[in-house]
Each structure stands twice: as C-alpha cells, then as structure tokens.
C-alpha cells in the first residue's frame, strides 16, 4: 500500500524484485535489462521466477538463496546452472574467470566456459571442466590434440611461472598440455607464447629460434626486476635480446644496497613491451628507431645506475644515459607526443632541485634530492632534457599537429636556478668523466685579497700598503 505496488505472495507482478536486478551476478549477465518475469513452473520447483520469453533459445529461471542469486537455463532438455565467477578466482587463470561465464550441466556434471559476448550458446571449442572425480580435468573438445589446461597451483605451472615471473604474474598465464606439443604457456597480455622442449629449454614461439636464456642478466640496468632475456637456441654464446615491459617505472634505494627498479604493468588486457638487442661488440643495447623506445631505455639506464660501470657498456648507467640523451638519436624527430614529454619530464627531474635559502639573502642553498644514489642525480639531465624541448619548440612550425594544439606548446618544465645549477656542475666536474660533462664557458673569478692593494686605489689603506712595500724593497 505504501509503494502503490501489487504483490502476489510478497512478490511483484510481471517483473523481478529490486534485490534481484541490483545483484552483481544479475548485472554481469543481463546488464541494465529488466526481464519480463513470471512465477517459475513445476519443472523447476526450487526456483522463484522464470523469463516470459526465451533468451537465445533458453528458458531462464532465477531464485535468491541466502543472498546468492541462482540462475538456471533450460534448452533442448539440458539444464544448466550458472556458477558465480568469483567462486573460481584462484582456481583458474584470471582471463578464464573474468572474460567467461561458467555453466554447470546438472546431468553430466561438466562446466562449460562461455565467452561473455556469447554466453547462451554452447560450442565445442569452449573450455570444459569435468567435475565429480578426484581430479578435475579441463579440455577443449574441438581440438584434435586434446589440449588440457594445467592447474595453476600445480608444481608444473609454478615452475613455468617462475621462469616468466619477471614479465608476467602467474594468474595471467595460461598453461596447457597436449601429447604432440607438450607444455605451452600463453602470455596473452603480451601476445607471447612459449613451449617447453624435451631438453627443458623454454622456446619463445613468438620469436622463432629464440629461447629463454638461463643467464637473465643483460649486463646493463642492474637491479631492474622486470625484463626477460632471450638467446638463439642453436649456439650457446649467440645473439641475445631483452624484452622490457612498458609501464610506470618505480624505484627504491635501500642504504648499502643497489637500487631496486620495477615496472608497474597494471591490470590492463594489453601490455606493450620493447625489444632491445644486446650488442657486446659495440657495448650497448640496440632498440627500434622510435623516440619513446630510446627515451624509455635512457630513463632505465639512469635510475639503475651505480657507482660501478655496467658490464656491457663499461660506463655507469648515468654516463650511458647522458651519452644517449645528448646524441643525435634523441634529436631526430618531427614532433613530441605526450608519452615522450612525460619521459623527458622524468629525466629532467633527475637533476636535484636547488634554491637559495633564505631566498632574499642568497648565501645558502637547499637541495631537494630524489630517492636515488647521489651519483645517479647528474646536473646535466636538466640541460639535456631542456635542449630536446627547445628543439621541439623550434620544429613545431613544420609539425602537422600545429593546428591541433601541439602538446609542446603547453608543456613547461619545472624552473631551475641556472646560477646554482652551473655552480653545482662546476664543483661536481671532477666526480664524472669528461664524456658526460657539458662544455662550460664560465671561468673562475679572480679573488682579490683584502691585504693586496691595487694601483687604482686611493684609500688610506692602499697608501699605507705602498709605503710599507717601498720601505721593504728600498736598498739599504
């Protein structure tokens, strides 16, 4: 009476209660659609409602039991019940949980995984799980090799996940086994696939002829946790490459230890990565010609720097970063996108920020350091980064994006005190090799002591000085 609703046995007529339509399971399956409902018939006596119309040939039944929404479907004599997807978290790879609906055949005791965009139709190429036995088995009926999913908690899956842990978390890996091809690992977010050979080597199917190297050190970027080193399978000491995911770079410096650098990959469905060839002859990493790839490499060199030189380059990470940042490769562009500008801002911020204290006296300074070793925070990062931005501003006249609002036009680097920056660069000059230092035109100013006179002085102090000097040199 209060809500002006007609209820039959305490239930609304012709539609579902709000407790049903507001449930997370209902929204995942039906979205914002409201089903035309009727009381369930005698074929499903334990259910409360049924859909008035068929959904892709399925009669749908709904019921609320202890706060859990139960959904069943009936089609061609087969009865299936939906398993809430959150119940399978931790038992299946993340994508097989979040991207699928899971229907239990009540007669055959088989769970079928159907994609969210085609959840009402059964297909032979869908994954299936046989339940009811001591060990559940998951397979695809349509595959000729009868591929089976490997339990993510098994020792096999754990071993393979440990070899790829630098690139991907175990819950995002899909490991399968078949008699013909053995064990395969699908790293879907990177669009990479691996296969375990009979010799125990993990081959990368996405890069034919390459395997995961037992030596996961690239000789540079020491302390970087997220990288995967590959090598050619035919020769032991052959060409090597390193794959590095693209993401937010995080670093932490523990006193007395090397800087630990990680890359936050996020939870997105697609992750980009850069492929760098390890060139021991030239002593550096060779990437693609993209500017963002180069700047990302430079930033990783900088934040992983140590006082000792890297094995591959023979330079510290700071020296290698500055050498590359000032090279022609970082100035061969037509325009700068927002991603490149973000990296330039981060490289710029590696220079400590200096300001006078107090500002009006200019007798002392305050230095704001990053959470990196002092040797990694070079004063030339600000100048080199500013030079790239200045060049982009000069080239924006010829850019095709001028009429669209060129991003460099509104991009401003944090202001620095050039006098304090130059002063610090001169005083730190001897702590870095000349290759990493900019050319300085500033020379030390001559300091005239208070006890040394000048020919132009006419003060009494100067006259006394010259009188004493004459007496000293006067011949006796």
Residue 464: predicted pLDDT: 81
> How many helices and strands (H and E) does the chain possess?
10, 25
The answer to the question of residue 264 being in a domain is no
User: What average pLDDT score do residues 290-304 get?
Assistant: 96
Residue 440: predicted pLDDT: 56
The answer to the question of residue 200 being in a domain is yes
Q: What are the residue ranges of helices labelled H in 256-306?
A: 291-303
42: left (phi over 0), alpha (psi -120 to 50) or beta: alpha
Phi, psi of 226 (to 5 degrees): -110, 90
Report which of 43, 54, 109 is spatially closest to residue 77, judged by C-alpha positions. 43
Q: Angle CA(58)–CA(54)–CA(104) in degrees, nearest 5?
A: 20
Beta bridge partners of 75: 78
User: What average pLDDT score do residues 463-468 get?
Assistant: 82
The answer to the question of residue 162 being in a domain is yes
Lowest mean pLDDT among 173-177, 338-342, 380-384, 439-443: 439-443
Domain count, the chain: 1
User: What average pLDDT score do residues 309-328 get?
Assistant: 94
Is the per-residue pLDDT at 30 higher than 90? yes
Q: Angle CA(298)–CA(302)–CA(305) in degrees, nearest 5?
A: 135
Q: DSSP secondary structure string, 315-349?
A: S-HHHHHHHHHTSGGGG--S---HHHHHHHHHHHT
Distance from C-alpha of 232 to C-alpha of 250, rounded to nearest angstrom: 31
Q: How far is CA 436 from CA 313, 316, 432, in A?
A: 14, 10, 7
3-class secondary-structure state, position 280? coil
User: What average pLDDT score do residues 23-35 get?
Assistant: 94
Mean per-residue pLDDT of the chain: 87
> Do 424 and 440 meet the contact criterion of CB atoms below 8 Å apart?
no
Q: How many residues does the chain have?
A: 476
The answer to the question of residue 317 being in a domain is no
Residue 267: predicted pLDDT: 84
User: What average pLDDT score do residues 356-385 get?
Assistant: 89
Q: Angle CA(22)–CA(27)–CA(30) in degrees, nearest 5?
A: 120
Lowest mean pLDDT among 164-168, 325-329, 407-411, 444-448: 444-448
The answer to the question of residue 386 being in a domain is no
> Do 113 and 105 meet the contact criterion of CB atoms below 8 Å apart?
no
Is the per-residue pLDDT at 372 higher than 80? yes
Distance from C-alpha of 162 to C-alpha of 228, rounded to nearest angstrom: 12
Angle between helices 317-325 and 291-303 (to 10 degrees): 150
The answer to the question of residue 176 being in a domain is yes
Say what percent of the chain tops pLDDT 90. Answer: 58
Distance from C-alpha of 240 to C-alpha of 99, rounded to nearest angstrom: 36
Give the dihedral sign, CA 251/305/296/270.
Answer: negative
Residue 115: predicted pLDDT: 96
How far from each other are the two terminal CA atoms of the chain, in whole angstroms? 130
> Do 104 and 181 meet the contact criterion of CB atoms below 8 Å apart?
no
And the tokens for 172? Answer: 């995002």
pTM above 0.85, yes or no: no
Angle between helices 380-395 and 418-427 (to 10 degrees): 130
And the tokens for 234? Answer: 């035919």
Report which of 365, 351, 235 is spatially closest to residue 302, judged by C-alpha positions. 351
> Do 63 and 46 meet the contact criterion of CB atoms below 8 Å apart?
yes
Q: How far is CA 147 from CA 90, 120, 175, in A?
A: 21, 24, 10
Q: Which domain holds residue 173?
A: 141-211
Report which of 316, 263, 310 is spatially closest to residue 431, judged by C-alpha positions. 316
Is the per-residue pLDDT at 403 higher than 50? no
Per-residue model confidence as pLDDT tens digits over 79-137? 999 999 999 999 999 999 999 999 999 999 999 999 999 999 999 889 999 987 666 78
Say what percent of the chain tops pLDDT 70. Answer: 87
Report which of 340, 330, 333, 304 is spatially closest to residue 319, judged by C-alpha positions. 304
* Range among 35-44, 194-203, 402-411, 458-467 with highest mean pLDDT value: 194-203
Distance from C-alpha of 106 to C-alpha of 119, rounded to nearest angstrom: 17
Distance from C-alpha of 436 to C-alpha of 426, rounded to nearest angstrom: 13
Distance from C-alpha of 409 to C-alpha of 281, rounded to nearest angstrom: 41
Q: What are the residue ranges of helices labelled H in 114-266?
A: 155-163
The answer to the question of residue 401 being in a domain is no
The answer to the question of residue 24 being in a domain is no
User: What average pLDDT score do residues 216-241 get?
Assistant: 92
Residue 307: predicted pLDDT: 85
CB neighbour class for 134 (10 Å; exposed up to 12, middle 13-18, buried from 19)? exposed
């Amino acid at each position: 009476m209060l809500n002006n609703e007609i209820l039959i046995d305490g239930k609304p007529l012709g539609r579902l209660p709000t407790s049903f339509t507001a449930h997370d399971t209902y929204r995942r399956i039906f979205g914002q659609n409201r089903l035309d409902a009727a009381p369930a018939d005698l074929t499903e006596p334990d259910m409360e409602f049924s859909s008035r119309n068929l959904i892709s040939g399925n009669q749908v039944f709904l019921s609320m039991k202890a706060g859990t929404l139960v959904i069943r479907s009936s089609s061609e004599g087969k009865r299936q019940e939906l398993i809430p997807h959150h119940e399978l978290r931790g038992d299946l790879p993340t994508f097989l949980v979040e991207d699928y609906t899971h229907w239990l055949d009540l007669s055959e005791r088989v769970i079928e995984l159907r994609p969210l965009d085609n959840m009402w139709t059964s297909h032979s190429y869908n994954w299936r799980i046989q339940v009811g036995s001591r060990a559940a088995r998951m397979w695809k009926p349509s595959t000729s090799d009868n591929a089976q999913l490997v339990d993510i908690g098994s020792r096999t899956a754990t071993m393979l996940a440990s070899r790829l842990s630098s690139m991907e978390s175990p819950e995002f890996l899909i490991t399968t086994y078949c008699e013909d091809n053995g064990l395969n690992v699908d790293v879907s977010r990177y669009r990479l696939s691996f296969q375990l050979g009979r010799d125990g080597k993990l081959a990368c199917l996405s890069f034919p002829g390459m395997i995961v190297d037992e030596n996961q050190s690239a000789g540079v970027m020491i302390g970087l946790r997220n990288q995967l080193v590959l090598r050619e399978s035919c020769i032991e000491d052959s060409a090597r490459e390193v794959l590095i995911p693209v993401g937010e770079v995080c670093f932490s410096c523990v006193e007395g230890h090397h800087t630990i650098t990680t890359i936050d990959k996020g939870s997105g469905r697609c992750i980009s990565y850069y492929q760098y060839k390890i060139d021991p002859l030239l002593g550096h990493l060779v990437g693609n010609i993209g500017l963002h790839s180069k700047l990302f490499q430079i930033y990783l060199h900088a934040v992983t720097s140590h006082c000792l030189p890297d094995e591959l380059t023979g330079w510290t990470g700071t020296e290698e970063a500055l050498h590359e940042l000032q090279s022609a490769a970082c100035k061969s562009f037509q325009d700068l996108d927002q991603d490149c500008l973000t990296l330039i801002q981060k490289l710029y911020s590696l220079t400590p920020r200096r300001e006078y204290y107090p500002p009006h006296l200019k007798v002392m300074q305050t230095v704001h350091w990053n959470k990196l070793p002092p040797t990694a925070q070079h004063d030339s990062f600000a100048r080199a980064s500013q030079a790239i931005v200045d060049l982009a501003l000069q080239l924006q006249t010829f850019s095709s994006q001028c009429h669209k609002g060129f991003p460099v036009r509104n991009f401003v680097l944090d202001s620095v005190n050039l006098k304090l920056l130059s002063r610090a660069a001169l005083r730190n000059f001897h702590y870095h090799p000349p290759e990493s230092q900019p050319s300085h035109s500033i020379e030390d100013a001559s300091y005239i002591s208070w006890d040394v006179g000048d020919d132009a002085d006419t003060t009494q102090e100067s006259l006394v000085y010259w009188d004493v000097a004459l007496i000293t040199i006067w011949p006796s």
